[in-house]
Every structure is written in C-alpha cells, then in structure tokens.
Structure 1
C-alpha cells in the first residue's frame, strides 16, 4: 500500500475509536416485547461509521392486520437514562399489504456516548422523534 493510503486508513481508524467507545462490542441488547409487533433477530455491530443496528419486527399474532409504525432505538446508561435515541422505519415489506408477517429495519447511530451500557429496541406506533 502507498504511504498516503496508509495515512488515510490510520486517520479513519483514529476517528472511529474517538467516536465509538471501546466497550461498544459488549453492550447489552434489550428488546421491548410488550407490543403486538416485536423486534426479533436484532443485531448490532461497530463500524468506522458508527453503531449499526438491524433486525426484523414480527407480529405477535400472525394474520392480524398491517404492520404500522417505526422502530425506536435508544442508548441507555447503567441507570437506564436515555443518552441518545433514533427512530427508523421498516423496509422490505408493503405497509398497505393486509397481512405481512414481518419487516426489516436497519439504522446507523454515528455517535455513541461513552456511558452507553444498553441498546433498547422497540416497535412504536405514532409520531417519531422528529414529529413525523
């Protein structure tokens, strides 16, 4: 590799370690299963761009209507206080289809506070953080 390529790679790695806490790979994953649509198969990984969270939402009772709403991802500290929150929409399904069984979601949180201990994932119906 050329020297300029190595320098660029080193800069990216330094930026990633500054934004992502070193313990991010050890975060707890908390799934809210109290609603009729439940996040499943949720995974996360640390990348140079941030914390990627993805998975599926599935209906608790098959053939029981549409999947509406959004997925809410919250980063919590040890005491359960919310440090950051991001809402994302489901993809790979048709919201107007009468009986979809599940839909996928994927999002990126570019900045992860050092105090983050838990990633909470929940399905919500209603307005998102930005009011949509």
Structure 2
C-alpha cells in the first residue's frame, strides 16, 4: 500500500474512534415487557454511521386485534437518565390486517452520547416524538 493510502486509512480510523464511544459494545439491553406488545429478538451493533438497533415486536396474547404504535429506543446513563431517544416505525406487517402477530423494526441512532450505559426498547401507542 502507498503511504497516502495508509495515511487515509489512519485518518478514517481516528475519526471513527473519536465519534464512536468505545463502550458501545458493552451496553446493557433493557426490554420493556409491561405492554401488550413486547419487543423480542432485539439486537444492536455499532457501525460508522451510529448505533443500529433492530428486532421484532410481538403480541403478548394472540388474536387480540390490530397492532398500532411505534417502537421507542432510549439511550440511558448509569443513573437511568435519558441521554437520547429515537422512535422507529414497525415494518413487515399489515397494520390494517385484523390479527397481525408480530412486526419488525430497525433504526439508526446516529449520535451516541458519551456516558451511554444502556439501551431501553419499548412499544408505545400514540404519536412519535417527531409528531408531537
């Protein structure tokens, strides 16, 4: 490799290290299972673009009507204070179908604040943060 290529790669690595918190791989995942629709199979990974969070939401009781709402992702510090919040739409289901059992979600949190210790994932009914 040429010296200019190595310098460019080093610059990209340094920028990524400055933007991406080193602790992001060790975040605690908290699932809110108190609602009728529960997040399941939730995963997260750090990418150069930010924190990618994806998974499914499933009904606690089958055949109980339509699924409405959105998925709320909150980044928390050690004390449980909200540092950032992002809402995700549910996909891969038909909201007008009488009895959908599950739906998937996927979102990107571009800026992960320093001090983030946990990711809380919950299903919410009502308007998203952007709609309020």
Do the structures match in fold with TM over 0.5?
Answer: yes
Give the distance between the partners of 1:46 and 1:85, measured in 2 at CA. 16
Cα 1:13–1:127 change in 2 (3 A) is: same
Give the distance between the partners of 1:106 and 1:4, measured in 2 at CA. 37
C-alpha deviation, 1:16, in angstroms: 2.1
Give the distance between the partners of 1:67 and 1:4, measured in 2 at CA. 54
Note the residue ranges of structure 1 that are not aligned, 5 or more in a row: none
TM-score normalised by length of structure 2: 0.92
Give the distance between the partners of 1:123 and 1:14, measured in 2 at CA. 36
Number of residues of Structure 1 aligned to a counterpart in Structure 2: 132
Does the 8 A contact of 1:31 with 1:121 survive in 2? yes
Note the residue ranges of structure 2 that are not aligned, 5 or more in a row: none
RMSD over equivalenced CA pairs, Å:
1.5
Which residue in the other structure is 1:55 paired with?
55
Give the distance between the partners of 1:10 and 1:89, measured in 2 at CA. 37
